[in-house]
Chain A
């Protein structure tokens, strides 16, 4: 969770996050009212947006 927070605070880039670990976290925190779930949700939305931008740039190459 510390890395997630660091990513949201823009202290680390999105490439530095371990996606397998994030998948494990999403299995662990399933209560949509919990602060961990909300943090994950925000982080995943930002991550998806970053990866889609990267994918778009590869397609346009």
Chain B
């Protein structure tokens, strides 16, 4: 917005405030002015939010670009362990391989850099003070190396050296520059950080690869996994590339879960070109995942649906038993809508969750609200989701 428009907008707000507060004017004039004021506030808030998002996106882009520029010229790139925004993840990465190594911590709110260093095998980490410039923090690393001779590899075994040298690679994936970071676990797994801002694409899907071979990455099916925290709350999807044999998957996932203190839920497989058009949003990712068949046999577990896709219109009255994080929401699919049949108690627990586990009923199998109500009425006590769906299954073979 240019200065003249901004000044006129301020004048408009000033005039409208005077009208709203002038009690001598007819009520209709005051109401119109109040409505106009609300419109101005909504528009301004939207613009401010957009500017903040742009700023955040640029900052996220910038700090990754600065890191890549630094690493291109770094003599210590072989021992680099990654760029982190969370200290806990940085410490985890350093602890996974206690040989020499260093990592970068960037604080998005402070917009400052810190470098962490393990100067010798099995020694504790040391770190620089917060620096406004990455190059100044890197100067600290150079000084420490001179003082402590950190990066002399002669004392490291061949196996450790190969691990260290694999720590970081830049590849071109999906036409974008990406950083592969070795997660130092067995079977082998690399995290892929795509060079792009924190858009929705990266919020709900994390990329990994089992191999650095680009041909394998781009031709082998993608393994899609629902990732949960230890409380069973949905964290997002993991997309694992380069898996040539699904028999490796259980041990790879078990190792990842142990290292990162998470759980995995349903595991499916999809071709990369089939997944690619669905990456733009959480909803599209869910629709893609929904269409696929699980590839690993597991205990009875429920897949997750984005909470905002659930339609609150409910035409049955069911007395629900208390819910836990594992309780699924029972939903009926009607055309493009997912209507909640049973799950008010579960949703009441899900204030901080983006997705909830579900059991899906479909109209195609002859299910109707009347039938659901009839079956629900047979229960004389608050009913659980499983009891209700089992009873519906006995009455009609309708469940997926």
Tell me the minimal C-beta distance from A42 to chain B in angstroms.
11
**Is the interface on chain B under 10, 10 to 19, 20 to 34, or 35 or more residues?**
20 to 34
Contact B10 A55 (CB under 8 A): no
Contact A51 B13 (CB under 8 A): yes
Q: Is B32 an interface residue, CB under 8 A from the partner?
A: no
Q: Is B7 an interface residue, CB under 8 A from the partner?
A: yes
A56 to B13, CA, bound (A): 11
**Is the interface on chain A under 10, 10 to 19, 20 to 34, or 35 or more residues?**
20 to 34
A contact set with B: CB distance below 8 Å: 19-20, 22-23, 26-27, 37, 40-41, 44-45, 47-48, 51-52, 54-56, 58-59
Contact B9 A48 (CB under 8 A): yes
A40 to B3, CA, bound (A): 8
- Among B3, B16, B38, B41, which residue has the most Cβ atoms of chain A within 10 A? B3
Chosen A-B contacts, 7 in total, with CB atoms closer than 8 Å, are A26-B4, A26-B6, A44-B10, A47-B10, A51-B13, A58-B20, A59-B38
A41 to B4, CA, bound (A): 10
Contact A51 B37 (CB under 8 A): no
Contact B3 A44 (CB under 8 A): yes
Chain B residues lying within 8 Å of A58, measured Cβ to Cβ, are 17, 20-21, 34, 37
Interface residues of B in 9-40 (CB under 8 A from A): 9-11, 13-14, 16-17, 20-21, 34, 37-38, 40
Contact B20 A20 (CB under 8 A): no
Contact B8 A23 (CB under 8 A): yes
Contact B38 A44 (CB under 8 A): no
Chain B residues lying within 8 Å of A27, measured Cβ to Cβ, are 4
Taking a contact as CB atoms closer than 8 A, the residue among A19, A20, A37, A55 that contacts B41 in the complex is: A55
Contact B7 A22 (CB under 8 A): yes
Chain B residues lying within 8 Å of A41, measured Cβ to Cβ, are 3
Q: A19-B11, A52-B44 are in contact. Are A44 and B6 (CB under 8 A)?
A: yes
